Amino acid sequence: MNVFIFLTIGTLLTLVDICQNARESMPVYQMVQRFFNWIDESEETRSVLELGSRARSGSTNRVHFSKKHRYTGVDFMDGENVDIVADAHSLSDHFKPDSMDAIFAISVFEHLAIPWKTAIEINHIMRVRGRAMF
């Protein structure tokens, strides 16, 4: 069911449109988009690692990257969009040093037992001039 709203300027919008427009104007949304664009607009192939990639709500971030990039989804539980089941506290057990160009996690660090250990692990596997977003 769509809920339509008439604005005083004569524009017809659905409630979904209004929510999407509000979300896109948020600074955090814009930051995430800049990060994804930095990866996807690169002429080089980038290795991208997402921590907490399991598609709990049915949506994934994998769709934001073209096929030329090497996206790897990591989660502590198996599920949709998980390529490697691993603990974020031991990433260097699963990835070579200096192997990732970009690492990101959305709503993950607040769930980690020892977040500073994960930061050290990220430092081990991220390449020089790589980018991270949390």
Domain ranges for the chain: 30-133
User: Is a pLDDT exceeding 90 seen at residue 26?
Assistant: no
Distance CA(27)–CA(60), nearest Å, equals 21
Beta strands in 2-46, from DSSP E residues, in sequence order: 4-6, 12-14
Mean pLDDT of the chain: 87
Report the pLDDT value the prediction gives residue 23, as an integer from 0 to 100.
64
Please, which pLDDT band fits residue 18 given cuts at 50, 70 and 90?
low
User: Which tens digit of pLDDT belongs to each residue from 72-117?
Assistant: 999 999 999 999 999 999 999 999 999 999 999 999 999 999 999 9
Residue with tokens 């599920």: 79
Flag whether the pTM goes above 0.95. Answer: no
Q: Which CATH number fits domain 30-133: 3.10.270.10, 3.30.43.10, 3.40.50.150, 2.40.40.20?
A: 3.40.50.150
Neighbours of 7 (CB within 10 A): 9
